[in-house]
Amino acid sequence: MACVSFAKLNAPSSSWIGGQQSLPQRSGSSARLATRRVSLPIRAGAYTDELIKTAKTIASPGRGILAIDESNATCGKRLSSIGLDNTEPNRQAYRQLLLTTPGLGEYISGAILFEETLYQSTTDGKKFVDVLHDQKIVPGIKVDKGLVPLPGSNNESWCQGLDGLSSRSAEYYKQVSIPCGPSALAVKEAAWGLARYAAISQDNGLVPIVEPEILLDGDHPIERTLEVAEKVWAEVFYYLAENNVIFEGILLKPSMVTPGAEHKERANPETIAKYTLTMLKRRVPPAVPGIMFLSGGQSEMEATLNLHAMNQSPNPWHVSFSYARALQNTVLKTWQGRPENVEAAQKALLVRAKANSLAQLGKYSAEGESEEAKKGMFVKGYTY
């Protein structure tokens, strides 16, 4: 499980994570279903108005989330792809490149950080959290305790993290894969864990981002993905309601409904939009302010095209993005770890951020996209 919190826009950097009561751990599952959780400080009861306000700030027109909450190990794999060692100074340099990009706040409303990044500063000594605040970007924090086996399931696992929520603030992360399940146990445990996470977050002034991810692994058709997604989301919203979660004060981060990555037939953006919106309309109440899709290994351009296709007519919710690789792939390869390439890499980030901003508004065109943006990034069994 991963733990993430978004801070209030006006919160001082020294106190942006609210205190929380420690609660016993509730196991969740990952039949390779990825359920992630992110929180933004504010909440139910005394926090209700502020909670709703912050959720709407994240779900604002033409803006989405930059996810840079990869663990140090995963960040290290990305750095090694450009010949850099996985050291704290190299991770700091890369995150500084991303977070100090001029004009980023025009297209990005929230940034999910890994725990290490929360305490880092720029080379000039300015805290990254303050850099984000200056651009009106809501910062979030992820704390991941790792995967453990789920007893009695189809060889599935769950990510820990509800325990110690008081010292973290939460993004609860699980994964479900279609080929090996998901088992009824995995779905129930994932849904219950997500609901408890959301309720605890709201009780402590946090806006939870609930993220069940159906992984691309497998050769199944898009109809099977829709079937599994509807089953998972039905359970999630049942338990959210059982735990008295305020729907107006949460954000969702699902995967798009696509065929399995190894399926013989690829689906076009219009088909993916049709199936994804069908699932959302059947399962997600219109009270939820925002749907922030993850890219799940799609190419940069593919993720943008699919988002664009979903915004060709009005939706009950703000339909946007919370991308990691689909915003960073070209940036990383442009940078190559060289100081002289920082400006070019930041411009590459703005290109991708603007493209997805336009897609959120239904105004994106793929004309002029680079070959790099067209390359798929699916990795079988990928973990964050």
What pLDDT is attached to residue 178?
A: 67
How many CA atoms does the CB half-sphere of 299 hold within 13 Å? 13
Q: What is the mean pLDDT of the chain?
A: 81
Cα 256 from Cα 285, distance rounded (Å): 17
What pLDDT is attached to residue 145?
A: 56
Residue 22's identity, in one-letter code, is S
Q: 348 or 212, which is more confident?
A: 348
**Mean pLDDT lowest among 84-88, 171-175, 199-203:** 171-175
**Mean pLDDT lowest among 15-19, 144-148, 232-236, 294-298:** 15-19
What pLDDT is attached to residue 106?
A: 98
What pLDDT is attached to residue 28?
A: 36
Q: 30 or 244, which is more confident?
A: 244
What pLDDT is attached to residue 197?
A: 83
Q: Say how many Å lie between the first and final Cα of the chain, rounded.
A: 10
Residue 101: enclosing H or E segment and its boundaries? none
Residue 369 is a catalytic residue? no
Q: Which residue has the tokens 């000039």?
A: 124
Residue 253 is a catalytic residue? yes
Residues in contact with 111: Cβ distance below 8 Å, sequence separation at least 6, in sequence order: 65, 66, 67, 68, 99, 132, 137, 138, 139, 140
- DSSP state letters, 33-48: EEEEEEB-B--SGGGH
Residue 46's identity, in one-letter code, is A
Q: Where are the domains of the chain?
A: 68-142
Q: Which of 70, 156, 189, 211 is catalytic?
A: 211
